[in-house]
A and B are shown apart, each in its own frame.
Chain A
Amino acid sequence: MVARTIVITSGKGGVGKTTTTANLAVELAKIGKKVVAIDGDIGLRNLDVVMGLENRIVYTLVDVVEGACRLNQALVRDKRIENLYMLPAAQTRTKDAVTSEQMCEICSMLSDEFDFILIDSPAGIESGFRNAAAPAQEALVVTTPEVSAVRDADRIIGLLESMEKRGISLVINRLSPKMVKRGDMLDISDVVEILSINLIGIVPEDEAVITSTNRGEPLTFQAVGPAARAFSNLAKRILGEKVPFDELEHMNNKGILGHIKKLFGV
């Protein structure tokens, strides 16, 4: 097995890198792929809480690099689903605790054992981002349809291109179908036109993202809402399946059926 190594990045913070990493990892594992999600945000780790694995961390990425433990000891296995692992970042260290070479080395050790290595990049364009991106052949650039996020995404795309990453794809997160219809939010075609890279995922704004993070259960474990469906489709497209994008109308839970479902908490 040689893993596909994908960095999930954005430039701007708070646009949904970690949520995307966690949910994509779960979706790929559900399809039967062996997946490890690496938290590349040393000093500000969050992938552990979003995945709900924070209580199971013993060793971290930095311990592996420093030789304090073996790589297998630092991997946290998700007991809820087969084939899903997480490699946590250290919380009490800084970005300089790991170098690009060390990240590459760790990924090459994991590469034989996994189908997918997903690396959750920190925000910014400095060393943390560069270290997270170094081992990846492919990149998912996450943005929201906002001026600041798209601008930063453009910058990151430029940097990824200069690092000669070959597969750079775009995920547009937190799209509000209502606002798009009203003409008060950049729509998909605007963002794609501006950034001109391959679009691979559209994730609508969905409260379930927050409630699932509250519980520490990635959305895709059980939810059936629009965001969960979007992540599921994203995973399929990454595997090469041709899945059409949902129409705006189908991206919210509204409609009589949606309200009834909500009443019963489905």
Chain B
Amino acid sequence: MAFLDRWFGRNKTKDEAKERLQLVLIHDRTDLAPELLEQLRAELIKVICNYLEVDDKKIELGLEREDRTVALVANIPVKNIKRYIPNAKNK
């Protein structure tokens, strides 16, 4: 009943088009190439390992999207916390 919808001012197809476009573009614009994500992961682990002992086989890393926002979400299981301040040699 498209014409009824229109009478009541609902469901203009252009609004649907706009909403779908905005959503799909959030994906398009933030899609990281897999190699880039892999590189980010490797570098992150390197830095984190200066401070924490982590289980690098169980790390989950990825972009998560909710409505209009994007977040980098990482789940990094910690095995042990280092008790000393890392110095240049440890890096």
Point out residues on A near B: beta carbons under 8 Å. 146-147, 150-151, 154-155, 158, 180, 182-187, 190, 194
Contact = CB atoms under 8 A, between A and B. Distances in A.
Nearest to A150: B21
Interface in B4-23: 6, 12-15, 17-18, 20-22
Interface in B65-90: none
Given A147-B21, A151-B21, A194-B22, A183 B28 contact: no
Contacts of B12: 182-184
Contacts of B15: 183
A150 B29 CA distance: 13
A190 B25 contact: no
Judged by DSSP, the binding face of B is: helix
Given A183-B15, A186-B14, A151 B6 contact: no
Interface of B: 6, 12-15, 17-18, 20-22, 24-25, 28-29
Nearest to A187: B14
Nearest to B2: A184
Given A154-B29, A183-B6, A147 B20 contact: yes
Contacts, number: 40
Shortest beta-carbon contacts, A-B, top 3? A183-B12, A184-B13, A190-B18
A182 B13 CA distance: 9
B14 A184 contact: yes
Contacts of A190: 14, 17-18
Contacts of B29: 154, 158
A186 B17 contact: yes
Contacts of A150: 21
A185 B22 contact: no
A154 B28 contact: yes
B14 to A, nearest CB: 5
Q: Which residue among B13, B21, B22 has the maximum number of chain A CB atoms within 10 Å of its CB? A: B21
Q: Which of B18, B20, B22 has the most CB of A within 10 A?
A: B18
Contacts of A186: 14, 17-18, 21
Nearest to B13: A184
B25 to A, nearest CB: 6
B21 A183 contact: no
B9 to A, nearest CB: 9
Nearest to B9: A183
A187 B15 CA distance: 10
A179 B14 CA distance: 9
